[in-house]
Amino acid sequence: MSIVYFSLGSNLGDREKNLNDAVMSLSMEVGSIICQSGLFASKPVGFESENDFLNIVLSMQTNLPPIELLAKIQEIEINLGRVSKSINVYSDRMIDIDILLYDNLMIELPMLKIPHPLMTVRDFVMITLAEIAPDLVHPTIGKTISQLADELNS
């Protein structure tokens, strides 16, 4: 079993329901949930919108290898109303599910980068991740999540 950390966000429709539906789908199709953060409200990053996001982070155990996991979360996003995945251009969305960390793996593929390359500069990721895994060490930076969250907010 591998441990995976996800960031989930929604800024359209019933955002809390969208997040709950995504968590339910992940628990049914990906593996078992270990821990889930509280809700975190944030402004859109990388685009203008009147719609704020609700975000959570969760950790799960899974038997799916990284590429299969990516395909599964993309399928879940589509089933929950996601029209298309943002590539260099961000927009409003019903649900967004990103893989942040997968065990201590480092993956650099065109369609999948682990650790998530922008996680350490996004407060909605780092604050919620520090809530559930403060002592987790980032595999490429070598600092704990709580250290990285503190640096981001200082």
Beta-carbon contacts of residue 110 (< 8 Å; ≥ 6 apart): none
Full residue range of the structural domain in which residue 34 is found: 2-118
Identify the residue with better confidence: 44 or 61.
61
What DSSP string describes 54-71? EEEEEEEEE-S-HHHHHH
Q: Is residue 35 part of a domain?
A: yes
Q: What is the pLDDT of residues 69-100, one digit of tens each?
A: 999 999 999 999 877 655 555 677 899 999 99
CATH code of 111's domain: 3.30.70.560
- pLDDT for 109-129, tens place per residue? 999 999 999 999 999 999 999
Q: Which residue has the tokens 């402004």?
A: 43
Domain count for the chain, please give it.
1
pLDDT at residue 47, as a whole number: 72
Report yes or no on 143 lying in a domain: no
Q: Is residue 84 one of the residues assigned to a domain? A: yes
Domain assignment of residue 83, yes or no: yes
**Residue 124 within a domain:** no
- Cα 66 to Cα 13, 30, 69, 100: the distances in Å are 29, 11, 5, 11
Return the number of other C-beta atoms located less than 10 Å from residue 39's C-beta.
12
